[in-house]
């Protein structure tokens, strides 16, 4: 009885004590309803979503479940504050209380939007999975982080405003600070934009063999700061994206044929008929091989060299992978050597003839080579 009399007649900060008790009971009731809602929601909504063919409804329910539960708590706080009947003085008390409610609502909405970023990520992930390039897959983590940071920043600004503070000064400070950060991170931003250019232009895919400047190797990773290339020496080189986008990139993995071009130098002892036969047999050899493309095939006697009769040989193999191309090139080169051996033709090497005149006036010739 004494306790009932106390809470009925006593006040605390100008508010009847019994109102605090009732407000606390309202909050406890809200917490109880929150648990009931969570149980019903899990038993009804999720099984229904699991029966559908899409995953978006499952992700949506996951995103809003906790924020909806928080709404019961916010409602309990709001009703409790209303029941307390805050005194008109000080005026800031009521304003602050309403600001707290608005801030809680802002947090709740932001929480839901933050979770819903997974839906956007799943939707974009389905789109990029249908493309041939793996580069756009690297864009997904960036989009997820950007959207979540954007939601948090907007929620903070709205929350600050709901508490009665002006966000104009905050925005101005962010503008000045952003300018300073942009100047300090100029190279980083250039690399990020470079990664966007690589993703949009797609000059190469992950796993492609490329050559750019003095660097040649296989692309292993395309990040937002740099592109990592595994060189022929098995070292890993990181090339800033701002640099690689300004260089000429030779994508070796996209070649359709590999060219072989060399000159056969025969000795000057070779007779015209032998030379003509050699050219014709080499040409027939290459034309009859299915691994050699007929377009661009050249086999011709072209020059009288300083120490040789030169035959230009050029052909393209339809196999492009080096493990397959090199055996083809080796086999054809050996068969060309067999043709020359059958015709008893010799390959020339750089040589010179030096004429020596003795004291008796006789001239002798000495041939030499290297």
Q: Which residue range(s) make up the domain with 244?
A: 190-253
| CATH value at residue 234 | 2.30.30.60
Tell me the pairing of strands 363-369 and 309-317: unpaired
Tell me the whole-structure pTM to 2 decimals: 0.49
- DSSP assignments along 175-186, one per residue: HHHHHHHHHHTH
Statement to judge: residues 209 and 282 lie in one domain: no
Statement to judge: residues 130 and 94 lie in one domain: yes
The pLDDT value given to residue 322: 83
CB 264 within 8 A of CB 313: yes
The per-residue pLDDT for range 125-163, each reduced to its tens digit, is 777 666 665 555 666 777 777 888 888 888 888 877 776
CA 334 to chain centroid: 45
Domain for residue 73, yes or no?
A: yes
Q: How many Cβ atoms from other residues are within 10 Å of residue 208's Cβ?
A: 17
| CATH value at residue 331 | 3.30.70.100
Statement to judge: residues 316 and 168 lie in one domain: no
Domain for residue 365, yes or no?
A: no
The per-residue pLDDT for range 73-92, each reduced to its tens digit, is 888 888 877 777 666 666 56
Domain for residue 327, yes or no?
A: yes
The pLDDT value given to residue 104: 86
Statement to judge: residues 129 and 104 lie in one domain: yes
Q: Which residue in 109, 118, 43 sits closest to 70, CA to CA?
A: 109
Domain count, the chain: 3
Statement to judge: residues 149 and 18 lie in one domain: yes
Domain for residue 358, yes or no?
A: no
Statement to judge: residues 169 and 312 lie in one domain: no
Statement to judge: residues 99 and 219 lie in one domain: no
Domain for residue 350, yes or no?
A: no
Residues 247, 252, 254: CA angle, nearest 5 degrees: 110
Statement to judge: residues 93 and 205 lie in one domain: no
The pLDDT value given to residue 171: 58
- pLDDT confidence tier of residue 300, bands split at 50, 70 and 90: very high
């Amino acid at each position: 009885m004494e306790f009932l009399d106390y809470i009925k007649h006593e006040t605390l900060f100008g508010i009847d004590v019994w109102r605090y008790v009732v407000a606390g009971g309202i909050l406890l009731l809200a917490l109880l309803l929150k648990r009931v809602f969570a149980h019903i929601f899990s038993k009804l909504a999720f099984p229904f979503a699991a029966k559908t063919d899409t995953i978006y409804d499952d992700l949506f329910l996951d995103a809003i479940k906790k924020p909806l539960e928080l709404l019961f708590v916010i409602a309990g706080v709001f009703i409790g504050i209303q029941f307390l009947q805050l005194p008109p003085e000080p005026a800031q008390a009521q304003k602050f209380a309403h600001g707290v409610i608005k801030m809680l609502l802002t947090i709740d909405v932001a929480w839901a939007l933050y979770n819903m970023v997974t839906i956007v990520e799943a939707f974009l992930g389905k789109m990029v999975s249908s493309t041939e390039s793996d580069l756009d897959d690297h864009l997904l983590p960036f989009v997820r982080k950007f959207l979540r940071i954007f939601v948090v920043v907007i929620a903070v600004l709205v929350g600050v405003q709901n508490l009665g503070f002006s966000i104009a000064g905050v925005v101005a400070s962010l503008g000045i600070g952003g300018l300073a950060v942009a100047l300090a991170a100029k190279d980083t931003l250039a690399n990020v934009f470079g990664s966007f250019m690589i993703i949009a232009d797609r000059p190469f895919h992950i796993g492609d063999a490329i050559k750019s400047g003095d660097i040649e190797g296989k692309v292993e990773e395309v990040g937002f700061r740099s592109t990592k290339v595994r060189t022929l020496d098995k070292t890993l080189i990181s090339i800033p994206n701002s640099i690689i986008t300004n260089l000429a990139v030779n994508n070796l993995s996209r070649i359709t044929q590999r060219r072989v071009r060399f000159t056969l130098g025969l000795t000057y002892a070779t007779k015209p008929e032998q030379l003509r036969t050699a050219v014709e047999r080499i040409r027939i050899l290459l034309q009859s091989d299915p691994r050699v493309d007929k377009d661009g095939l050249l086999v011709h006697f072209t020059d009288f060299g300083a120490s040789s009769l030169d035959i230009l040989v050029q052909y393209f193999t339809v196999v492009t992978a080096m493990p397959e191309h090199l055996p083809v090139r080796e086999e054809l080169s050996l068969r060309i050597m067999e043709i020359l051996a059958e015709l008893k033709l010799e390959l020339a090497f750089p040589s010179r003839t030096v004429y020596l005149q003795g004291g008796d006036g006789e001239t002798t010739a000495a041939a030499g080579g290297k």
